């Protein structure tokens, strides 16, 4: 008799390197996949350790002990396998963040859940959780959240059952909004990186570094960790089975993930690689626990793709994780068993692991269908079962056979086809051709628009749809796509015009749906009902038609009618939480509380953390003893924010969503009650200063909708008294509320908040107007000035005006680190180096300790030819690079080259050699490890010049030969230096060929509009300079300098800083600063 699963809610104390204060500046103008507004940036990372307490939930049976930490995004932190005495996943004993996630801070270890984006916004933040024990002795931990960028829900259940050496995971993802939203889903498991680690995937092909590759060849097996000396993402293509796993051959231990391969297509392997660059990331992320790799399972085949989740659409899928041991590898796995076949000199062994005790029969079936062996065995979770096969059977296996495992009733529980599956090369292209060229037919351009919408590159999507309309002005699909974009931006008049044009050519139910939303938003419920009624005729949109007819009926207090509509909606989409809860609401209003409770519990079966369902359960049960328990669950939805900056406030936004849901069906009394509950709990726990003004604004708006202007005004005034830090409105409904506040009170704050909302919704001119209105009323708020500076820089390219705004922002708040960084960039673009140095040197000490500031100051010293000062900063401080952006290394290398060039000009070759020798080192404090194949071409060339100046021609020749052996990218500065090495060694023709290749690539990029003019013209200038066409080279460098920085409004900080490095080098060339 197995024992029930033990559960325990507790705390765990972990050594932690905390995130310092979150950035109070809104994170605007990030590229689509990096958009995080309304969340804050969490990229100010501490090097000081503390010991911090985290909430933890433990599930334990006789085989496994599972620990989940809700305060770290709900990740599975540890799975201890009692059978083997090992951790199933990589367990990191330290919470040590690095700049990897969307918001910056990210920690390694365990299993991370990512929806609707990767390394998502709450990956190191608290999420909701709930523990449930079942009658069969099993137990489940639910974790979940409302992701605010999209307003979509995710809920994951982790279940442990008695007698099973397996974790069951059910994933529920849901779009409760009225609009389609882009998404992906990936479960990311960290696994120990040992020399024997292998990625076990049932696929022959993978997508890797932009191309389709064969996983296993005679030359190289890409599934072995030890074969990767650099970081890589490896995505399986065309998997023929439902598992993905990892095996540590040196430990004879591993793990398996199993899921429906048609629903969860993705099977990914990631490693930092075994070179010094990978080792450095180990140091960034842990103190004791060594390197790790990632094995991921996802909704789509790669992470270059996204899909659009339709309104009220939901997915549910089951996943399984379990340990395997004693198999000496992995050939096959399903949710019950894992199997390997060892074909060695001593014969053949079939090795089997099972997650449960299972009497069964093993059959080996010849390819012609004859059963050649039968074995009756009992599989158990606590040991490996080994079946030895004699020599005659080995011959059958060698020719190809099938292994069948049947339970005692004869049902097949595993079918293993021996021999690799022969598959053709899969065709895979994550990006449509028209998305690159913006050329093609209307249909191709419309597909490009959808692709950009999936990537959340909204301006590019808009451009693609408009290009399609230049080919066919009445192309309905492009009109519809553009109309939906304008609706999501809040531009209802333009959206209506486009959508009405879309349905003149042909009937389109999706366009009709968005026309219905516009009518509803504008208060024309009768017109909205007519449109929604039309949708009931559509197979694809009838669910949304009936749901919204139910909502319209609730607004009119027609509860019986709404029930009939919700019934029809639920026939078509059984997993729509809002239909279930609003059905319960209507039944509750009619007094049918038992029936209402049934519907709420159906919703909570899918997502027991869904706040609207919990609130509705309270109203159904409030007169009973059960209601008191529900009140506690409501209080628990306001998360304990001890480990994050509590002024950031996203930890109760999901309850504002509940109030809005009630208001949207016309129940303003209940909406106000929800907000009053939030206010009471926050005041009691933390104090009123941690309330968002949006809570009071919404309360006032709801009062005003009820005709109570006195209470409304009081609430608006309360909201105006609140601190504006971290107030980032993001909802469609927020705009109407803020505009109403503006008409009722004279304050700069609602103008500032509305500007934030409009800017985030791509309505930039309107946002600037609101921010400037805030200034006219009278504001001395640093972030407001920073926002205006950003807008005038990145969108209007009025650098003078932008600088004035930034200077004011810094003056008002000398601790606004983001403002310092961005102002220093503007000074750098303008070429006013002295102002850069003055700005950064005079910053408060607490600001100057930030590595962003130190990096900018080192760059300024470099441009001022203060090379010793630059190197002193670079070598005496610790830097924390973002994944993929190694800007500080660029500054380090440029400083060495410029310093060495100066010394050579002064006739000091020995000093130049000493400085250049630093180029070949990778100081650990820079945070960047030595790659497997570093490119030192530039340094080799200057070394040759230095030794030649000393008269050591052989040594000079040695370095030239080293430079020639390098293999840099043809579109890079190092390729230029390689060509110079060729020329100095006497191979002028080869050198000129290299310069011509550089010129051809650069001119092709300029003609096609690829990349930015800054880099393209800089590379063209180098090619022309190498060919001796000096006048044209100077013209190209001047063009690059005038471009200054790519005028792409959306870019990450690292992309901008890389561009600045190119700008610096272009200026050097134009002004003849370098020796060569």
Confidence grade of residue 397 (pLDDT, cut at 50, 70, 90): low
Residue 722 has phi, psi (to 5 degrees) of -80, 155
CA dist., res. 799 & res. 829, Å (int): 9
Confidence grade of residue 1045 (pLDDT, cut at 50, 70, 90): low
CA dist., res. 763 & res. 765, Å (int): 6
DSSP class of residue 667? -
Residue 696 has phi, psi (to 5 degrees) of -70, -35
DSSP class of residue 174? E
End-to-end CA distance of the chain: 81
pLDDT value of position 1010: 84
| Span 684-710, pLDDT tens digits | 888 888 899 999 999 999 999 999 999
From residue 458, give the alpha-carbon distance in Å to each of 110, 175, 319, 455, 850: 34, 19, 33, 8, 33
pLDDT tops 80 at residue 392: no
Q: What are the structure tokens assigned to 814, written together?
A: 């000398």
Average pLDDT score over residue span 842-849: 96
Contact 991, 1026 (CB under 8 A): yes
CA dist., res. 231 & res. 227, Å (int): 11
CA dist., res. 898 & res. 858, Å (int): 13
pLDDT tops 80 at residue 651: no
Contact 251, 90 (CB under 8 A): no
For the residues of 268-285, what is the DSSP string, one character each? EEEE--SSHHHHHHHHHH
Mean of all residue pLDDT scores within the chain: 94
- From the CB of residue 410, how many other CB atoms can be counted at a distance below 10 Å? 7
| Span 864-923, pLDDT tens digits | 999 999 999 999 999 999 999 999 999 999 999 999 999 999 999 999 999 999 999 999
Average pLDDT score over residue span 1029-1058: 85
For 749-754, which contacts have Cβ atoms below 8 Å and span 24 or more sequence positions? Answer: 749/693, 749/719, 749/720, 749/724, 749/774, 749/779, 750/697, 750/719, 750/720, 751/777, 752/724, 752/779, 752/781, 752/784, 753/693, 753/694, 753/724, 753/727, 753/729, 754/729
CATH 2.70.98.10 for the 6-325 domain, yes or no: yes
From residue 553, give the alpha-carbon distance in Å to each of 563, 579, 608, 662, 904: 9, 13, 27, 14, 83
DSSP class of residue 917? G
Contact 362, 349 (CB under 8 A): no
| Span 51-76, pLDDT tens digits | 999 999 999 999 999 999 999 999 99
For the residues of 64-103, what is the DSSP string, one character each? EEEEEEGGGTTEEEEEEETTTTEESS---SEEE-EEEETT
Confidence grade of residue 374 (pLDDT, cut at 50, 70, 90): confident
Confidence grade of residue 645 (pLDDT, cut at 50, 70, 90): very low
Contact 275, 281 (CB under 8 A): no
332-417: which CATH topology?
A: Immunoglobulin-like (2.60.40)
pLDDT value of position 643: 40
Average pLDDT score over residue span 746-766: 97
pLDDT value of position 627: 85
Name residue, tokens 């706040």: 611
Please report, for the chain, the start and end positions of each structural domain, with discontinuous segments joined by +: 6-325, 332-417, 878-1070
CA dist., res. 247 & res. 330, Å (int): 7
Average pLDDT score over residue span 379-398: 82
Share of the chain above pLDDT 90, in %: 87
Cis peptide before 38 (omega within 30 of 0): yes
pLDDT value of position 652: 85
Residues in CB range of 329: below 8 A, 6 or more apart: 198, 200, 247, 249, 340, 342
CA pseudo-torsion sign 1063, 1064, 1066, 1067: positive
Give the strand pairing for 347-354 and 385-389: antiparallel
Stated length of the chain: 1076
pLDDT value of position 993: 97
Name residue, tokens 């995937």: 201
**Closest to 13 (Cα-Cα) out of 67, 50, 47, 51:** 51
Confidence grade of residue 642 (pLDDT, cut at 50, 70, 90): very low
Which of 30-34, 225-229, 660-664 is predicted with the least confidence, judged by mean pLDDT?
30-34
Average pLDDT score over residue span 168-173: 98
pTM value is 0.96
Name residue, tokens 């120990």: 192
CA dist., res. 895 & res. 52, Å (int): 40
Share of the chain above pLDDT 70, in %: 97
Q: What are the structure tokens assigned to 291, written together?
A: 């390197």
**Closest to 183 (Cα-Cα) out of 422, 453, 388, 409:** 453
pLDDT value of position 426: 87
From residue 639, give the alpha-carbon distance in Å to each of 646, 649, 730: 10, 10, 21
Three-state DSSP state, 726: coil
What's 878-1070's CATH class? mainly alpha
Phi-psi region of 942 (alpha: psi -120 to 50; beta: other; left: phi over 0): alpha
pLDDT tops 60 at residue 798: yes
CA dist., res. 570 & res. 565, Å (int): 9
pLDDT value of position 317: 96
Four-CA torsion 682, 687, 693, 698, nearest 10 degrees: 30
Average pLDDT score over residue span 516-539: 97
pLDDT tops 60 at residue 646: no
Please indicate whether residue 609 or residue 1049 has the higher confidence score (pLDDT).
609
Angle between helices 782-794 and 748-760 in degrees, nearest 10 = 40
pLDDT tops 80 at residue 857: yes
């Amino acid at each position: 008799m197995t024992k029930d699963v033990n559960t325990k809610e507790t705390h765990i104390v972990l050594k932690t390197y905390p995130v310092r204060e979150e950035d109070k500046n809104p994170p605007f103008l990030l590229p689509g996949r990096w958009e995080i507004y309304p969340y804050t940036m969490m990229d100010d990372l501490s090097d000081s350790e503390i010991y911090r307490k985290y909430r933890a939930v433990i599930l334990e049976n006789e085989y496994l002990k599972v620990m989940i930490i809700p305060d770290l995004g709900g990740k599975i932190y540890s799975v201890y396998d009692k059978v083997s005495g090992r951790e199933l996943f990589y367990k990191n004993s330290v919470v040590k963040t690095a700049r990897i996630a969307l918001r910056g801070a990210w920690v390694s270890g365990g299993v991370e859940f990512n929806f609707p984006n990767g390394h998502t916004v709450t990956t190191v933040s608290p999420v909701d959780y709930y523990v449930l024990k079942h009658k069969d002795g099993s137990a489940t931990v639910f974790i979940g959240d409302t992701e605010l960028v999209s307003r979509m829900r995710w809920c994951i259940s982790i279940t442990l059952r008695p007698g099973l050496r397996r974790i069951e995971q059910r994933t529920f993802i849901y779009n409760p909004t009225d609009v389609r939203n882009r998404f992906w889903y990936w479960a990311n498991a960290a696994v120990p990186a040992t020399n024997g680690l292998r990625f076990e995937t049932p696929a022959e092909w993978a997508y890797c570094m932009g191309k389709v590759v064969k996983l296993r060849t005679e030359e190289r097996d890409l599934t072995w960790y030890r074969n990767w000396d650099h970081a890589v993402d490896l995505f399986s293509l065309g998997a023929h089975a439902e598992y993905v796993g990892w095996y540590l051959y040196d430990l004879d231990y591993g793990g398996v993930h199993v899921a429906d391969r048609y629903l969860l297509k993705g099977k990914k392997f990631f490693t930092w690689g075994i070179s010094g660059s990978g080792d450095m990331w180990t140091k960034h992320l842990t103190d004791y626990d060594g390197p790790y790799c990632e094995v991921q399972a996802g909704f789509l085949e790669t992470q270059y793709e996204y899909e659009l989740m339709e309104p009220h659409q939901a997915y549910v899928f089951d996943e399984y994780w379990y340990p395997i041991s004693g198999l000496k590898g992995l050939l096959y796995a399903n949710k019950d068993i894992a199997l390997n076949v060892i074909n060695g000199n001593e014969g053949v062994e079939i090795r089997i692991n099972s997650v449960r005790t299972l009497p069964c029969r093993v059959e080996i079936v010849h390819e012609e269908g004859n059963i050649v062996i039968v074995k009756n065995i009992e599989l158990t979770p606590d040991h490996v079962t080994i079946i030895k096969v004699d020599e005659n059977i080995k011959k059958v296996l060698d020719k190809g056979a099938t292994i069948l495992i049947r339970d005692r009733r004869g049902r097949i529980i595993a079918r293993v086809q021996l021999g690799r599956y022969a598959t053709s090369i899969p065709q895979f292209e994550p990006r449509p051709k028209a998305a690159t060229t913006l050329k093609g037919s209307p249909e191709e351009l419309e597909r490009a628009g959808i692709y950009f919408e999936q990537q959340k590159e909204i301006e590019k999507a808009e451009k693609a749809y408009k290009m399609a309309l230049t080919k066919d002005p009445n192309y309905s699909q492009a009109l519809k796509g553009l109309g939906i974009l304008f609706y999501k931006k809040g531009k209802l008049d333009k959206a209506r015009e486009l959508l009405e044009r879309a349905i003149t050519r042909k009937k389109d139910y999706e366009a009709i749906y968005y026309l219905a939303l516009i009518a509803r938003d504008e208060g024309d419920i009768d017109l909205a009902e007519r449109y929604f009624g039309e949708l009931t005729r559509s197979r694809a949109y009838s669910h949304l038609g009936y749901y919204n007819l139910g909502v319209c009926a609730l607004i009119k207090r027609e509860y019986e009618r709404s029930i009939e509509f919700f019934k029809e909606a639920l026939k078509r989409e059984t997993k729509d939480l809002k239909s279930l809860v609003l059905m319960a609401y209507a039944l509750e209003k009619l007094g049918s509380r038992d029936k209402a409770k049934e519907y709420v519990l159906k919703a909570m079966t899918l997502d027991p953390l869904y706040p609207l369902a919990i609130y509705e359960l309270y109203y159904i049960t409030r007169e009973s003893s059960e209601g008191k328990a529900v009140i506690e669950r409501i209080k628990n939805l306001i998360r304990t924010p001890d480990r994050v900056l509590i002024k950031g406030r996203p930890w109760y936004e999901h309850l504002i969503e509940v109030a809005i849901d009630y208001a949207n069906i016309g129940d303003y009394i209940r909406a106000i009650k929800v907000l009053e509950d939030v206010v009471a709990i926050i005041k009691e726990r933390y104090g009123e200063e941690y309330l968002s003004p949006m809570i009071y604004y919404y309360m006032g708006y709801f009062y005003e909708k009820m005709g109570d202007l006195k209470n409304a005004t009081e609430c608006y005034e309360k909201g105006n008294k609140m601190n504006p830090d971290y107030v980032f409105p993001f909802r469609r409904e927020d705009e109407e509320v803020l505009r109403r506040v503006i008409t009722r009170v004279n304050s700069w704050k609602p103008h500032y908040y509305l500007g934030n909302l409009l800017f985030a919704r791509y309505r930039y001119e309107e946002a600037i107007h609101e921010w400037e209105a805030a200034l006219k009323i009278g504001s001395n708020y640093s972030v407001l000035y920073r926002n205006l500076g950003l807008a005038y820089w990145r969108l209007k390219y009025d650098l003078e005006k932008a600088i004035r705004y930034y200077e004011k922002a810094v003056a008002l708040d000398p601790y606004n680190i983001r403002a310092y960084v961005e102002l220093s960039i503007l000074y750098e673009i303008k070429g006013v180096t002295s102002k850069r140095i003055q700005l950064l040197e005079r910053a408060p000490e607490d600001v100057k300790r930030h590595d962003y500031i130190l990096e900018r100051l080192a760059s300024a010293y470099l441009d001022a030819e203060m090379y010793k000062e630059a190197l002193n900063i670079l070598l005496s401080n610790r830097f924390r690079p973002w994944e993929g952006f190694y800007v500080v290394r660029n500054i380090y290398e440029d400083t060495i080259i410029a310093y060495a060039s100066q010394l050579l000009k002064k006739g000091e070759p020995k000093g130049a050699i000493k400085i250049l020798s630093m180029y070949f080192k990778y100081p650990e404090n820079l945070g960047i490890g030595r790659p497997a194949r570093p490119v030192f071409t530039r340094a080799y060339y200057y070394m040759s010049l230095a030794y030649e100046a000393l008269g050591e021609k052989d040594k000079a020749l040695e370095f030239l030969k080293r430079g020639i052996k390098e293999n840099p990218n043809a579109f890079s500065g190092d390729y230029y230096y390689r060509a110079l090495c060729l020329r100095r060694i006497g191979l002028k023709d080869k050198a000129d060929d290299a310069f011509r290749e550089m010129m051809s690539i650069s001119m092709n990029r300029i003609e096609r509009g690829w990349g930015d003019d800054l880099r393209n013209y800089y590379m063209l200038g180098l090619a022309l300079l190498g060919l001796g066409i000096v006048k044209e080279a100077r013209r190209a460098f001047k063009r690059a300098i005038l471009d200054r920085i790519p005028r792409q409004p959306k870019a990450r900080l690292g992309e901008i800083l890389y561009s600045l490095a190119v700008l610096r080098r272009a200026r050097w060339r134009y002004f003849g600063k370098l020796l060569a």
